[in-house]
Homo-oligomer: A and B are copies of this chain.
Amino acid sequence: MDEAAWITRYIAPLVTSAGADGLRDDVALLTAIGPTIATMDTLVEGVHFLSSDPVATVGQKLIRVNVSDIHAKGAEPLEALLSIAWPHDRSEHDFAALMSGIERDLQGFTVSLIGGDLVRHDGPLTLTLTLTGRCIGKRPVRRSGGGAGDALFLDGEIGWGGAGLSAAQSGNNPQLAARYQVPQISDRASAQIVAEQASASMDVSDGLLLDVSRLAEASGCGAQLDLERVPLAVETAEIAQILDQCTAGDDYRILLSAPSGLKIPGFTEIGKLTESPGLQLRFRAQPVNTPSTLGFEH
C-alpha cells in the first residue's frame, strides 16, 4: 500500500478539527484563541527509543515529550502536525500499531491532529511532532524568570526514565521498561500551577542536574540542590545512586521556581536559586562533589 492509502486508512480517521480540512489540503488553519506557543521534538530509532520498544509506545512517547514541553510552560496542548519517516522494512501492521499509540495519547491529552507528512525511506524510524499550546495565563512561563532566593520545586519523582531504560535493555522487567517507553509526564493540573505560581519553569528531560543548571543559568542565577529532598524512583542514601538517578534523564517532570515559603500541592521543594553562579549539591547539609556529566542531551 502506498503513502496516500496509509494516510487515508490510519491517519485521516484521527483528524477531527475543522481547520485540518480532513487532511485534504496542504495546510491546516490554526486555532487562535489567546497566546499560542509551539514546540517541535524529534524521536529517532536507536537514539530516543530502542528498536525493540513496542511501536505503539513510540507513538505515545512522541506525543508525551511534546505535551511535557507545553505543560511545563503553563499551557495546554492544542494542535499537532506529525511527520513520519517510515522504514521500508517495517510492516503495515507496525504502522497501524504506531498510529494506535498516537491516537490513544492524542485523545488522552486532548490534542487535535491537523496535518503533517509521511515518507517511506531506508533509514531509522524518525518521528517529528510540532505541537501548539494555549497559554493558561497571558504568556508562556520561561526558563528565564527566576530570581535569587526563589525556591526550586519538582513535580513527581526522578529516576524512572533511567531505571526503565535499563529494564528495557535487559528485557527482564516489562512493567519497569514501560516507565521508559511511555513516560509518566506532568499533567494539566501541574500546568495550571506553573501558570499561576512559577517565576520560571521547564520540564526535566535530560537529567535533573543538567536541567536545574539550565534553568538557573537562563535566570541569571546559580542553584543549590538538596539531594536528600529529591523524590527518587529508587529510594537510597547512597550518593552515587542518587546522582545516577539525577543525571539519567527521560523523566519529563516539571521543575519550577517560585517565591520561597510557598507550599505547592504535588510538588516537592528541592533547593533554591542563588546569587552565586554554578550548581552546588548538598546531602543532609553537607557539600557533595558535582559530577562531570550532569545529564544527557538528545
A contacts, CB < 8 Å to B: 2-4, 21, 24-30, 32, 35-42, 44, 46-48, 69-70, 72-73, 75, 81-83, 85, 114-117, 119-124, 126, 128, 130, 132-133, 139-140, 142-144, 202-203, 218, 297-298
Residue of B nearest to A121 (CB): B44
In the complex, what distance in Å separates the CA atom of A36 from the CA atom of B85? 26
Q: Nearest chain B CB to A244's CB is how many angstroms away?
A: 21
In contact, B21 and A27 (Cβ under 8 angstroms): no
Residue of B nearest to A118 (CB): B42
The oligomer's copy count stands at: 2
In the complex, what distance in Å separates the CA atom of A26 from the CA atom of B144? 11
In the complex, what distance in Å separates the CA atom of A142 from the CA atom of B22? 12
In the complex, what distance in Å separates the CA atom of A133 from the CA atom of B28? 10
Residue of B nearest to A32 (CB): B32
In contact, A140 and B29 (Cβ under 8 angstroms): yes
Chain B residues, CB < 8 A from A132: 30
Q: Nearest chain B CB to A139's CB is how many angstroms away?
A: 7
In contact, A44 and B119 (Cβ under 8 angstroms): yes
Q: Nearest chain B CB to A218's CB is how many angstroms away?
A: 5
Q: Nearest chain B CB to A109's CB is how many angstroms away?
A: 15
Q: Nearest chain B CB to A202's CB is how many angstroms away?
A: 6
Chain B residues, CB < 8 A from A40: 81-83, 115-117, 128, 130
Chain B residues, CB < 8 A from A83: 40-42, 83, 128
Residue of B nearest to A218 (CB): B24
A-B contact pairs, 22 of them (CB 8 A): A4-B297, A24-B143, A25-B140, A25-B202, A26-B73, A27-B69, A27-B140, A29-B37, A29-B140, A30-B30, A30-B37, A32-B35, A38-B130, A39-B81, A40-B81, A40-B82, A41-B83, A42-B83, A42-B128, A48-B119, A83-B128, A128-B128
Contact pick for A46, options B42, B121, B144, CB 8 Å: B121
